Amino acid sequence: MEYRQLGSSDLQVSALALGTMTFGEQNSEADAHAQLNYAVSRGVNFIDTAEMYPVAPRAETVHRTEAYIGSWLKHQQRDKLILASKIAGPARGFSWIRGTPRINREHLTAAIDGSLRRLQTDYVDLYQLHWPDRYVPMFGATSYDVTQERDSTPIAEQLQVLAELVQAGKVRHIGLSNETPWGVSEFVRCAEQLGLPKIVSVQNAYHLLNRTFESGLAEVCHHTNVGLLAYSPLAFGWLSGKYIADPNAHGRITLFPGFGQRYNKPNVPPATKEYLRIAQEAGLTPATMALAFARTRWFNSSVILGATTLEQLKENLDSAEVMLTAEVLEKIEAVHRIYPNPAP
């Protein structure tokens, strides 16, 4: 397993991380512990979770993922692991989280204390804002609509509270998720101007069907030394090929159709078929090719894997040593030119 410095932090994270959003919905506590043990045995030191997990989010299961990790973490050597969690923002409602979550002093304080209690630890290594407190287009929306702007907590105020959490020892580093180029730039600018902790990472979707990070965000993150944590590297299972073989295949797309709307786009199936063809010609499984592609992009600090079975997790982790040939990369670029970002 390769380890990489996460942005400007002192964290050395594994190039493949374990995502946990299935814990508590598709995976039992025993399943979760088995995945965690196996991932660590393969060199994974970076575990990512969130207060709103599992997915699909609902009041009956909220916080269960962190609790499952906590019952495992209390038996581990804490300083050997890098643990990340997230505070939910207001973008998606979730009235069952603090009566509709916000990212302000009251909610940040309550959220981190709740996460630490469930995770059974004194600190998280990385604390991320799951969505901006302000309006931004996301999850399949591609155009900024100025009429949707709403009152939001100023970025400087959010950073001030995060700085206090760092000073209190509850958080080592801070990061963003589902952010825009302007948002990353503004968080960095405010931190520099006010002498507050700088964000070290942004966790956004990145995969063969959505390479929008490569434009504005790649430039911003390069110049500000902010690392990408790429989520959904298999596009909710599309890049495994299973939905091409069987549109009703078991998986998150069919289990939670409303949660996968960003993939319900006309060019997703034809683009996916082309990537499957390239993988087959190269003697690779589709998932291995997709993960190797994401892992080897110059701007990527770590790729966050999600699996529901140990067999899936093993295949995903096996991709850690795979390097794509120049020929395969050229074929991928050819498809990207025909079907650019069909699932943004």
Tell me, what's the pLDDT at 294? 98
> Which of 53, 68, 135, 275 is labelled catalytic?
53
Whole-number Å distance between alpha carbons of 72 and 229? 23
What CATH class is the domain 3-237+286-322?
alpha beta
What φ, ψ does residue 46 adopt, rounded to 5°? -120, 120
SS3 call for 124: strand
Residue 252: both structure tokens together = 């998150």
Look at residue 141 in the predicted model and tell me its pLDDT.
Answer: 80
The answer for residues whose C-beta is within 8 angstroms of residue 100's C-beta and 6 or more apart is 90, 93, 94
pLDDT in tens, the chain (344 residues): 999 999 999 999 999 999 999 999 999 999 999 999 999 999 999 999 999 999 999 999 999 999 999 999 999 999 999 999 999 999 888 999 999 999 999 999 999 999 999 999 999 999 999 999 999 988 778 899 999 998 999 999 999 999 999 999 999 999 999 999 999 999 999 999 999 999 999 999 999 999 999 999 999 999 999 999 999 999 999 999 999 989 889 888 888 887 778 899 999 999 999 999 999 999 999 999 999 999 999 999 999 999 999 999 999 999 999 999 999 999 999 999 999 999 99
Token readout for 48 is 């990512």
Confidence (pLDDT) at 60? 97
Token pair 């509850």 in the structure block, residue: 170
Q: Where are the domains of the chain?
A: 3-237+286-322
Distance CA 328, CA 281 (A): 9
Q: What backbone phi and psi angles, to 5 degrees, belong to 199?
A: -65, 145
Q: H or E element: which one contains 48?
A: strand 46-48
Instruction: Give the whole-angstrom CA distance, residue 107 versus residue 101.
Output: 7
53 a catalytic residue: yes
Helix (H) or strand (E) holding 230: strand 227-231
Note the Cα 150 to chain centre separation in Å.
25
Buried b (16+ CB within 10 A) or exposed e, 295-333: beeebbbbbbbbbbeeebbebbbebbebebeeebeebbe
Place of tokens 């995976």: 27
pTM (two decimals): 0.97
Helix, coil or strand: residue 167: helix
